[in-house]
Amino acid sequence: MKWTDIPASVVLAAADICDGHTIFKPEAFLEVGVPQELVDRCTNIYESDFSNPKYTISGPDGKPVNQMRGVYGLDALSSMIRDFGLPAEVKFGRGSQAYVWRDALRAHLAQTAEN
């Protein structure tokens, strides 16, 4: 299953929660209508790198954790961009990258809806 297999409204709802920094519980994507199969495809175990604060994962209490299972928003957006075959403009900074990819998805899906 790909992002292109689900309604545009669900793709956009999923994209809208992605900020480029957060590892979400898989349930967050199920709640906006993403099918389990696609959520499973995007769910991974992420490991902290304690040598660099930018790559140290914090748990819900704000304390560092060794690893976290979930859907990293930037990976989900990258998967959407790939599935739709959109140009993956590269930006410096995870938040900026997420913003550009969300906009590309919105523009593409809006154009598709018009045709």
**Cα torsion for 31, 35, 41, 44, to the nearest 10°?**
20
pLDDT tens by residue, 18-67: 998 999 999 999 999 999 999 999 999 999 999 988 889 998 898 999 99
The pLDDT value recorded for residue 113 is 66
Tell me the whole-structure pTM to 2 decimals.
0.89
The pLDDT value recorded for residue 89 is 79
pLDDT tens by residue, 89-103: 788 889 899 999 999
| pLDDT higher at 38 or 114 | 38
Contacts by 91-95, CB closer than 8 A, 24 or more apart? 93/20, 94/20, 94/21, 95/19, 95/20, 95/21
